[in-house]
Structure 1
Amino acid sequence: MNRFPGVDLDALRAFVAVASHASFNDAAIELNLSGSALTRRIKRLEEALDVMLFERTTRNVALTASGELLLPRAQGVLRELDASLELVTEATRMRAGQLTIACIPTAAKLMLPGIVSSFHRRRPEVRLRLIEANLATVMQRVANGDAEFGIAFLVNESPDLDIDELLVDPYVLACPADHPLAAGEHVAWRELRPWPLIVSGSSSGNRRMLDAALRDIDWRPERLIEIEHLTTSLGLVEAGLGISIIPRCAVPREAGARIAIRPLVDPTVARTIGLIRRRDAVLSPIARDFRLTLRRMAPVDPSMMRERS
């Protein structure tokens, strides 16, 4: 609660201006006020503090002892306020020219290069900050406002986040080219059970997506090798250490003659990659422009994505 309701910033600025000029007339000119309006502000301040701040004569305006005590403190308050407002304004200006995007690694590698290149040609003045992170970190960065957008997938619906769907990305089997599972055109999930499986850890977004989608077929992978990064799994597969499940967009163009990629069926499981944003966020003009660029360029099929990249 304000103990001095007559004390406000207008009154303090009026007081400091009069004290600095030792003149009501010069202070009124500086503040672009009429003489009567300036006098009312000083009077309101004096009445709120119940002191006289100036000794007035026909020729001079001088501070009283109370005015001398108040002046450096009022100047300090106004300096601190001006500095704080300048800091906020500068931060706003910097954010206005910067766009921060958090992205899962597979999308960062295959989706972003062409899109960022196109956006940069159109808006070269914009600073882009790209955060490559796992799904949980991408969600957190978007939710707390560190990133305007995330490019990822949602395992479960979120009341705080919206997703603009861009790409349906099915999971596929990666196995050695001479593996028995490579003989057919596609592979059912149940056929994977006898083989050592290289798969993401239980805390990863891809693993949680698979566990949720395959609950009805009693998905219980055994003989596991757990990995952190999808690219690691391909190296292990090529070395003959097991088979792996990866999103199709994570399959590199140079997968190699020693690795076979087969669709997984019964059921078909896919993740939907999209542009994730907070539902309550008001997009800046730069963010809206990037969103439009992404929606125009993002393909529906991962093979198209690799071609465009």
Structure 2
Amino acid sequence: MIRFPGVDLDALRAFVAVASHASFNDAAIELNLSASALTRRIKRLEEALDLMLFERTTRTVSLTSSGELLLPRAQSVLRELDASLQLVTEATRIRAGQLTIACIPTVAKFLLPKIVSSYHRKRPEVRLRLIEADLSTVARRVADGEAEFGIAFLVNETPELAIDELLVDPYVLACPADHPLAKSEHVAWRELRPWPLIVSGTTSGNRRMLDAALRDIDWRPDRLIEIEHLTTSLGLVEAGLGISIIPRCASPRDPQSRIAIRPLVEPTVARTIGLIRRRDATLPAVARDFRLTLRRMAPLDPAWMQPE
């Protein structure tokens, strides 16, 4: 058997990264390597194979005919390895009886305790790992296989992810109890314009959802206070610094709260909270039981969305 002692996984990953980016610099960034370290790996691979894999100029990097022949085979080797490691990791996690769930903060605070309680009564031996994160992180954790499920909403359709719908969560107005808008039973979006608005930043999933749904309506006030967390917005509203738009499930539960909640209309905008999972994933038994628990609970009791 012919052996190539200079060929290892690091060298193959370096080769595939450079070929994919057609750039040593971009490949080095992806692999978190210095440019010199990446160059050494490619040189070691070429010397081991006694082949030139790339044609380099001051401006371009392209594959040689040998490189083109190697690329699909190197990609296949790395895919097989990653799949095998993932299989081993999942098998170990199944034996340990662990289930990882990623969720957005509003779900973690208001819905997740009831969901987890119901599941725990059925499977008390399962160790649950809960990850509280923003929407993009939840989706990424599920897509990467770091979490079996996410409980959140999707702004756009994502080919690798599917969502089992649980409940529809409309956006509502939060304003001080003595605010002029609190006198109405419901409020149109355009009526918000005269008032300072406390709103999530443009990277927020809620903000992207609202901007997409209301792109044809001139609803946003000129005076904005941008925040990262909905709990911050409620504190600012209670202090009288402005009004805010929140999902109904984030409404204050304290009956003594000085915040008024009013439906927003013309149009009604809502997010659909659901169980996010990978479309092509084979779920372990603990995950299938969790999904079944939620399907039996859906649609979730609307009373969960109201102050206690």
Structure 1 residue 213, shift from structure 2 partner: 0.3
Report the equivalent of 2:162. Answer: 162
What is the distance in 2 between the residues matched to 1:180 and 1:301? 32
One-letter code aligned to 1:113:
P
Report the equivalent of 1:104. Answer: 104
Structure 1 residue 305, shift from structure 2 partner: 4.7
Structure 1 residue 111, shift from structure 2 partner: 1.2
What is the distance in 2 between the residues matched to 1:141 and 1:166? 20
Report the equivalent of 2:229. Answer: 229
Indicate conservation of the 8 Å contact 1:103/1:133, yes or no: yes
Structure 1 residue 297, shift from structure 2 partner: 2.1
> Does the alignment pair 1:251 with 2:251?
yes
What is the distance in 2 between the residues matched to 1:90 and 1:136? 24
Report the equivalent of 1:134. Answer: 134
Structure 1 residue 220, shift from structure 2 partner: 3.6
Indicate conservation of the 8 Å contact 2:192/2:220, yes or no: no
Alignment of 1:155-304 (within 5 A): 155-254=155-254, 256-300=256-300, 302-304=302-304
Greater CA drift, 251-260 or 108-117: 251-260
Structure 1 residue 92, shift from structure 2 partner: 2.1
Indicate conservation of the 8 Å contact 2:202/2:208, yes or no: yes
What is the distance in 1 between the residues matched to 2:104 and 2:164? 16
Structure 1 residue 304, shift from structure 2 partner: 3.6
- State the secondary structure of the residue aligned to 2:211: helix
- Which structure 1 residue ranges, 5 or more long, are not aligned? 5-84
- Go from structure 1 to structure 2 and tell me whether the alpha carbon gap of 1:159 and 1:193 turns closer, same or farther (over 3 Å shift): same
TM-score of the two chains, using structure 2 as the length reference:
0.69
Report the equivalent of 1:143. Answer: 143
One-letter code aligned to 2:154:
L
What is the distance in 2 between the residues matched to 1:294 and 1:152? 13
Report the equivalent of 1:95. Answer: 94
Indicate conservation of the 8 Å contact 1:186/1:263, yes or no: yes
Length, aligned pairs only: 227
> Once the two structures are superposed, what CA deviation does each residue of 1:85-107 show, in whole Å capped at 9, x if it has no partner?
9xx86872333411100000111
Indicate conservation of the 8 Å contact 2:248/2:305, yes or no: no
One-letter code aligned to 1:259:
I
Structure 1 residue 236, shift from structure 2 partner: 0.5
- State the secondary structure of the residue aligned to 2:142: helix
- Which structure 2 residue ranges, 5 or more long, are not aligned? 4-83
What is the distance in 1 between the residues matched to 2:206 and 2:163? 17
What is the distance in 2 between the residues matched to 1:105 and 1:244? 17
What is the distance in 1 between the residues matched to 2:165 and 2:133? 19
Q: Percent identity?
A: 78
What is the distance in 1 between the residues matched to 2:257 and 2:281? 47
Higher Cα Rg, which structure:
1
- Go from structure 1 to structure 2 and tell me whether the alpha carbon gap of 1:257 and 1:92 turns closer, same or farther (over 3 Å shift): closer
TM-score of the two chains, using structure 1 as the length reference:
0.69
- State the secondary structure of the residue aligned to 2:147: coil
Structure 1 residue 222, shift from structure 2 partner: 1.8
Structure 1 residue 186, shift from structure 2 partner: 0.3
What is the distance in 2 between the residues matched to 1:300 and 1:115? 9
